Structure 1
Amino acid sequence: MTDTAPRTESRTEPLIGTHQQSDGYQTHYRHWGPASGEDAIVLLHGGISHSGWQQPLAEHVTATSDAAFYALDRRGSGLNAQRGHLPSVERELADIASFLRSLTGSFRRVHLAGWCFGGQIASIAAARLAGEGVVASLVLVAPGYAFTERYADVLRLSMQGIFSALDSLEVKPEPDRAFVPVPLQISDFTDRPEWQEFVAADTLQLDRITTTTVDVWDQLAALSRGGVLSELGDIPVLAVLGNRDRLVDNDRVEAMLTEQIRGTAPVVHRLDTHHAVQFEEPAALARHITDFLATVR
């Protein structure tokens, strides 16, 4: 594992652990803070990233509160096996639910969070668990429910090109072979040179995925936009958006949250950042999260 993240004086190294899923798969996670207590935050990363991208946020949360912070490597990502391959929607959601349930005996409240595409997946998982007492709140950081016109065009044209090339092949690639490139630019995440260097040097990020993963991601994205927020019940929601986000259409996302959430109105904050809010304003993001958690009892 290569760790090239910018260092700060307050940096604390996480515990790296594994959680065995029902099919025997070992899901890796990073853990900061106590192993038991009142509150635990479980954060899901975005499409190409992994749990290590949440280090700045985790450090600030655990330095300023008693909450534990868990960043989970989703199946096929980060330190996990079969990189770039996600077999099904149900497997993704079952993995998350299993990990969350594993913490309920150690913490009074388990808060599910997600950044980028992880926010969309977190909302589906939270809705599936609504009413079971597993998820105490939902925290969304720059969730990709709605894209900017620029990025929507880039994504559409990239996928069209990839699948046109696939259709022309006489021999189709295996469904678990990661070869489909992910169409994202480093500048889409942040304009900070030190963090651009971190992303460029990161050997754990996904640059290629399987065709099965493409299909599963499409299904998850559609589920997240298909009214799942209205199924959260009484789970309170915090959303933190980046004003300079080049990928996410903040106005449409905020409107969607306001229109679909039927319980307590979502708490929405905006910070002057690009998409990687946790890189550029981790202290402010941590403060919004810990202030919100203090209202969840």
Structure 2
Amino acid sequence: MIVQTSLEGVHTFEQPDGYVTHYRLWGSETAADLVVMLHGGMSHAGWQAPLGDGLARLGDDVAFAAVDLRGSGLNAVRGHIPDGQTAVRDITLLLDSLKKARPGTRIHLAGWCFGAQVATVVAAGLTDGDVIASLLMVCPGFFFNDRYSDVLDRSIDAALEVVEELGITVEPTRPFIRVPLRAADFTDRAEWLAAIEDDKLKLSHVTVGTIDSWEAIAVQSETDYGRIGKLPVRAVFGTRDKLVDNDRVRTFLQSHPDLEARDIDAGHAVHFEETDALTHLVADFVAELKR
């Protein structure tokens, strides 16, 4: 189930500004390959525990790390990202640290939902080095369906209107904009619906800075996808995804010369509903890229 407050397997990395990034680690320290996964906007690294457990059970060939983005999960100032560049830089510096700590390991940067957009921007800034070997995307959130986009816009507008009408001064780090996502947007499985509802680490409200950061990263990712060079791209889509516009995203991703995309019969939370299928696809992608 979703990992919440357990510190087992949790590691930390201190950023240059003193901020501490938490990440969860599965698998062998001597694994030849390390998949580093970034989560979506509302969630956190603990949501990736099923995939981490699954890869660990397959053996010692592939290790897995799930990172809490700034303002999410076990990280401080939850619900707040000061700016998109900071959130991206956090991941870039963490990857560089992981590469130095594991000099013989190939790192595969991965992202689920909005995490795929963050990963794309990070990857675009690393094309001149040898830090990452591929870009993996699960239910990539480059384009959401009209319903979610409309509800998100309304939620932001409603919160800002209340603040303006009441003449309230809101501290920059105070989350007050509701994240308009329901458990049913991710899955229709009863056990996972309950787990999401009970999750104390998910983001229910965010700051204006976070909204602006999400938007800035989303816009930049569309341009930066064309700047990742020859980096192999592997993508997985949930055929019953209620949030992502799969057709539009698939068409967008096809501009890359080394793209391989697969479908899994699941909702947006593929790693919850079809853990084994996703685990084997990720392992197969990594093994294929060794050839």
Quick check: TM above 0.5?
Answer: yes
Number of the residue aligned with 1:92:
87
Compute the displacement of 1:81 (Å). 0.8
AA matched with 1:101: D
**RMSD after superposition:** 1.5
Matched, 1:235 2:228: no
For residues 257-276 of structure 1, what are the structure 2 equivalents within 5 Å?
A: 257-259=253-255, 261=256, 263-264=257-258, 266-276=259-269
Which stretch shows the higher mean deviation, 121-130 or 105-114?
105-114
1:49 aligned onto 2:43: yes
SS in 1 for 2:279: helix
Given that 2:110 and 2:116 are in contact with CA atoms closer than 8 Å, whether structure 1 keeps it comes out as: yes
SS of residue in 1 equivalent to 2:254: helix
Residues 16 and 31, structure 1, Cα contact 8 Å, conserved in 2: yes
Deviations 1:187-236 (A, max 9, x none): 000000000010011001111111111111111111122x2111111110
1:46-125 to structure 2, matched below 5 A, reads 46-65=40-59, 66-105=61-100, 106=102, 107-125=104-122
* Match for residue 130 of structure 1 among 120, 127, 132: 127
Query: Quick one: which amino acid aligns to residue 35 of structure 1?
Result: E
Residue in structure 1 matching 2:245, options 235, 249, 257: 249
In the other structure, the counterpart of 1:10 is none
Q: How many Å apart are 1:14 and its aligned residue?
A: 5.1
Whole-Å separation in 1 of the counterparts to 2:73 and 2:16: 20
* Alignment check: 8 A CA contact 2:186 2:267 kept: yes
| Contact 1:131–1:233, Cα closer than 8 Å, also in 2 | no
Task: Identify the residue that residue 290 of structure 1 maps to in structure 2.
Answer: 283
Checking the alignment, whether the CA contact within 8 Å between 2:173 and 2:207 is kept in structure 1 is: yes
Distance 1:160 1:81 in 2: 26
Q: Does 1:205 align with 2:197?
A: no
Question: Partners of 1:14 and 1:244 in 2: how far apart?
Answer: 33
TM-superposition CA deviations, 1:157-199 (whole Å, max 9, x none):
2222222223323132011111211110110000000000100
Residue 41 of structure 1: SS of its match in structure 2? strand
2:66 alignment partner, SS class: strand
Deviation at 1:64, TM superposition (A): 1.5
Contact 2:155/2:177, CA 8 A, preserved across alignment:
no
Output the CA distance in 2 between the equivalents of 1:42 and 1:5.
Answer: 18
User: CA contact under 8 A between 1:14 and 1:32: conserved in structure 2?
Assistant: no
Shift of 1:34: 1.0
CA–CA distance in structure 2, aligned partners of residues 149 and 171 of structure 1: 31
Match of 2:172 among 166, 172, 175: 175
Q: Which runs of 5+ in 1 are unaligned?
A: 7-12
Q: How many residues align?
A: 284
1:89 CA displacement: 1.4
For 2:166, what is the secondary structure of its paired residue?
Answer: coil
Long gaps (5+) in structure 2: none
- Deviation, structure 1 residue 273: 0.6
Match of 1:129, SS state, is coil
* Counterpart position of 1:31: 25
CA distance in 2, matches of 1:230, 1:124: 10
